[in-house]
Amino acid sequence: MTRSPDLLVLTIFGLVLIVSGGAEQARISGAVGAFLLGILLSGTIAERARELMAPVRDVFAALFFVSFGIAVDPADIPSVALPALILVLCGIATKMLTGWYGARRMGVGPKARMRSALTLIPRGEFSIMIAGLGVAAGSEADLGPITAVYVLVISTAGTLLAKYVGRTPVQR
């Protein structure tokens, strides 16, 4: 293993290009290939890479979310509002059930169970990543706007619900 941080980053970048290119040739998403490469890296190399690539990861993550937002036409949102809100309700219900059940299995009280249930709600970033892959692959045209509405509503509602958990009547 090299001691040069520059060489490590460039080597990983080169591997990402090779693996992603190979995945694309096999008609698999290049992002999936890069993800698999990340899983394969382990030990000291993975630890050093995590440190060195954190700023780059954050910049590319921000660019990914900006590019996803640019791809969504706000004029498409009203036509997908109802299906998106149905998904929001299903997402909130299942996340709350999961958080409540998991906290109950850990033996915590009702107040902590509710807090656990509510803090799961705003997690929707992975939905954007999956939808981004689907949009890039040319699948369903409404996937981008539905996901955008879903993530915006679930993030906002979940954050507000988690913030005010101590003030809800369930907590008394």
Residue located via tokens 């909130």:
92
The answer to whether the beta carbons of residues 144 and 68 sit under 8 Å apart is yes
Residue 109 has pLDDT above 70, yes or no: yes
The answer to whether the beta carbons of residues 158 and 94 sit under 8 Å apart is no
Q: What is the pLDDT of residue 118?
A: 86
Q: What is the pLDDT of residue 85?
A: 92
Q: For the CA atoms of the chain, what is the radius of gyration?
A: 20
pLDDT tens, position by position, 121-156 = 887 667 776 776 676 666 677 888 888 888 888 888
Residue 36 has pLDDT above 90, yes or no: no
Q: What is the pLDDT of residue 86?
A: 93
The two structure tokens encoding residue 89: 């309700």
* Neighbouring residues of 44: CB distance < 8 A, sequence distance ≥ 6: 1
Q: Is the pTM of this model over 0.75?
A: no
HEC profile of 38-84:
HHHCCHHHHHHHHHHHHHHHHHHHHHHHHHHHHHCCHHHHHHHHHHH
Residue 172 has pLDDT above 50, yes or no: no
Better-scored residue on pLDDT, 42 or 98: 98
Burial of 118 (0-12, 13-18, 19+ CB in 10 A): buried
Q: What is the pLDDT of residue 1?
A: 60
Q: What is the pLDDT of residue 82?
A: 93
pLDDT tens, position by position, 51-94 = 888 888 888 878 877 887 887 888 998 999 999 899 889 988 99
The answer to whether the beta carbons of residues 123 and 158 sit under 8 Å apart is yes
Tell me the mean pLDDT in the region 101-120.
88
Q: What is the pLDDT of residue 171?
A: 46
